[in-house]
């Protein structure tokens, strides 16, 4: 039988940490829900990397985030009720305000109130509820992501996303490596990406691409998202796609030959479970409205269909990558594209210093 590599071989033979075991760094703002998911007077249970967090919207519309557990018997507060500007646990009625302080135990005097639970910095922007799961003293100095196209009326924005069962790093690599057009051959025909150059800094890396069609004609969905190409040779000179990871977020922008931003995607992959093997993707895709009014609105269903198909193929393949990593117990990847090797180094350097424990391979077999 084939000799299997020693499970922790990677760690012992080299100081390089297995990227799939690097936790995302908590000292950033992460969306945990869409604004529309949290109704006034309701709670919503969410997770960040295995930490249960309850989001609450009071009757006045303000939002706050606490540890999703009652300090008493540890049942999740999201199973409780919003009462004025606080949350009341559904079991014995212990009550917490937006700072996590316990402000009422129905059967105890106010002078004997126990300690409360942790509160998280929480802000609402661009239709998302952001939480800062790390060191709260840093929350003020770390800016929320700026999404200029989302607030610019020259663009129409689609919000999309769902759970994907893989480590967030697979998502970054998938979007940045445009050599995977073969995966989308049914949607895009035979395209070939050409890397024009790349730039990097301490917390970002970005790469520019142009595309050449090898065969077939441009599908309508693609024309809508990436811009129509008048003819094949012209296309290669026209648009430039830039994919950028600015930790922990990612953007994909397409500029036409006159340097106009025609498409602007912002996306983030929020780990849900403690092992960070599942993430919830929050994506905002902004497309510049053409000069003909309502043309984009009319074509919107086609854009939705096209992006859903692409996203579905990407999701399937990254989940297969994660399954392979789980089975192999280490990172066997053999990368040949320099941009991706640099991206991995960035994700390792910007990640948390701890290591995600993994299951024994035998437990998964």
Element (H, E) at 38: none
In the shown chain, the binding pattern of residues 222 to 241 toward a copy of itself, with x for contact by CB under 8 A and - for none, equals --------------------
Q: In the sheet that 30-34 helps form, which strands lie side by side, from edge to edge?
A: 30-34, 128-131, 122-125
Nearest to 264 by CA among 253, 248, 256: 253
Q: Select 260 or 316, whichever has its Cβ closest to a copy of itself.
A: 316
Q: Under rule CB under 8 A, which residues in 94-153 are in contact with a copy of itself?
A: 105-108, 112, 114-115, 118, 133-134
Q: Taking the mean position of all CA atoms in its chain, how far away is CA 290?
A: 28
**Contact window for a copy of itself (CB under 8 A) among 223-231, 234-242, 247-255, 268-276:** 268-276
The count of other CB atoms within 10 Å of the CB of residue 313 is 16
Q: How far is the CB of 298 from a copy of itself (least distance, A)?
A: 34
Interface with a copy of itself, residue 355, by CB under 8 A: no
Scan residues 191-210 and list those touching a copy of itself (CB under 8 A): 192-193
Question: What residues pair up with 54 in beta bridges, in sequence order?
Answer: 45, 66
Helix (H, G, I), strand (E, B) or coil at 274: coil
Binding residues for a copy of itself restricted to 23-42, rule: CB under 8 A: 26
Angle at 312 between CA 187 and CA 248, to 5 degrees: 110
| Cβ contact 119:64 at 8 Å | yes
Q: Is 341 in the site for a copy of itself (CB under 8 A)?
A: no
What is the rounded CA–CA span in Å between residue 21 and residue 358?
A: 8
Q: Does 189 bind a copy of itself (CB under 8 A)?
A: no
Question: Scanning residues 274 to 333, which ones bind a copy of itself (CB under 8 A)?
Answer: 274-275, 317, 320-321, 324-325, 327-328, 332-333
Is 183 one of the binding residues for a copy of itself (CB under 8 A)?
A: yes
Give least dist CB 318 to a copy of itself, A.
Answer: 9
Rg (CA), the chain: 23
* 182, 199, 297, 312: residue in contact with a copy of itself (rule CB under 8 A): 182
Nearer to a copy of itself, 26 or 227 (CB): 26
Q: In which element (H, E) is residue 269 found?
A: strand 261-271
Nearer to a copy of itself, 215 or 292 (CB): 215
Q: Which is nearer to a copy of itself, 211 or 266 (CB)?
A: 211
Sheet holding 81-83, edge to edge: 81-83, 86-88, 95-96, 102-104
Query: Shortest gap between Cβ of 185 and a copy of itself (angstroms)?
Result: 9
Q: How far, rounded to the nearest angstrom, does the alpha carbon of residue 117 sit from its chain's CA centroid?
A: 27
Closest Cα to residue 133, out of 50, 72, 35? 50
Q: Are 70 and 88 in contact (CB under 8 A)?
A: no
Please, what is the minimum distance in Å from the beta carbon of residue 360 to a copy of itself? 8
CB nearer a copy of itself, residue 124 or residue 314? 314
Q: Is 76 in the site for a copy of itself (CB under 8 A)?
A: yes
d(CA 317, CA 170): 10
Give bridge partners of residue 130 from the DSSP assignment: 31, 123
Report yes or no: 277 and 322 within 8 Å, Cβ to Cβ: yes
Alpha carbon 35 to chain centroid distance? Answer: 16
CB 320, min distance to a copy of itself, A: 4
Q: Verify binding: residue 359, a copy of itself, rule CB under 8 A.
A: yes
Least CB distance to a copy of itself at residue 299 (A) = 29
Identified binder of a copy of itself from the candidate list 5, 9, 62, 73, rule CB under 8 A: 73
Nearer to a copy of itself, 147 or 252 (CB): 252
Q: Does 10 bind a copy of itself (CB under 8 A)?
A: no
**Smallest separation, CB 139 to a copy of itself (Å):** 14
Q: Which residues contact 230 (CB under 8 A, 6 or more apart)?
A: none
Are the C-beta atoms of residues 41 and 58 closer than 8 Å to each other? yes
Beta bridge partners of 209: 195, 241
Applying CB under 8 A, the residues found at the interface with a copy of itself are: 1-2, 26, 49-52, 67, 69, 71-76, 79, 88-93, 105-108, 112, 114-115, 118, 133-134, 177, 179-180, 182-183, 192-193, 273-275, 317, 320-321, 324-325, 327-328, 332-337, 352, 357-363, 365
């Amino acid at each position: 039988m084939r000799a299997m590599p020693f499970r922790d071989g990677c760690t012992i033979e080299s100081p390089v940490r297995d990227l799939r075991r690097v936790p995302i760094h908590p000292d950033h703002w992460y969306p945990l829900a869409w604004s529309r998911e949290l109704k006034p007077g309701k709670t919503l249970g969410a997770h960040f990397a295995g930490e249960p967090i309850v989001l609450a919207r009071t009757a006045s519309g303000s939002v706050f985030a606490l540890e999703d557990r009652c300090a008493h018997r540890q049942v999740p507060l999201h199973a409780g009720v919003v009462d004025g500007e606080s949350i009341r646990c559904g079991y014995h009625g212990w009550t917490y305000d937006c700072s996590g302080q316990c402000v009422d135990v129905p059967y105890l005097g106010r002078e004997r109130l126990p300690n409360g639970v942790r509160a998280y910095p929480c802000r609402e922007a661009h239709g998302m509820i952001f939480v800062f799961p790390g060191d709260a003293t840093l929350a003020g100095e770390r800016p929320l992501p700026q999404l200029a196209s989302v607030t610019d009326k020259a663009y129409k924005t689609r919000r999309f996303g769902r759970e994907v069962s893989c480590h967030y790093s697979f998502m970054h690599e998938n979007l940045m490596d445009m050599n995977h057009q073969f995966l989308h051959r049914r949607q895009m025909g035979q395209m070939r990406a050409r890397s024009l150059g790349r730039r990097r800094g301490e917390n970002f890396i970005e790469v520019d691409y142009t595309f050449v069609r090898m065969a077939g004609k441009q599908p309508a969905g693609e024309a809508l998202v990436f811009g129509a190409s008048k003819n094949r040779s012209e296309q290669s000179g026209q648009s430039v796609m830039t994919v950028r990871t600015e930790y922990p977020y990612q953007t994909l922008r397409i500029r036409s030959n006159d340097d106009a931003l025609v498409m602007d995607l912002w996306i983030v992959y929020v780990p849900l479970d403690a092992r960070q093997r599942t993430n919830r993707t929050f994506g905002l895709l902004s497309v510049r409205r053409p000069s003909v009014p309502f043309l984009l609105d009319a074509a919107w269903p086609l854009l939705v269909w096209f992006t859903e198909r692409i996203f579905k193929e990407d999701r399937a393949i990254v989940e297969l990558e994660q399954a392979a990593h789980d089975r192999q117990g280490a990172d066997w990847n053999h990368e040949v594209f320099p941009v991706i090797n640099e991206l991995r180094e960035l994700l390792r350097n910007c990640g948390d210093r701890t290591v995600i424990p993994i299951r024994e391979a035998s437990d998964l077999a």
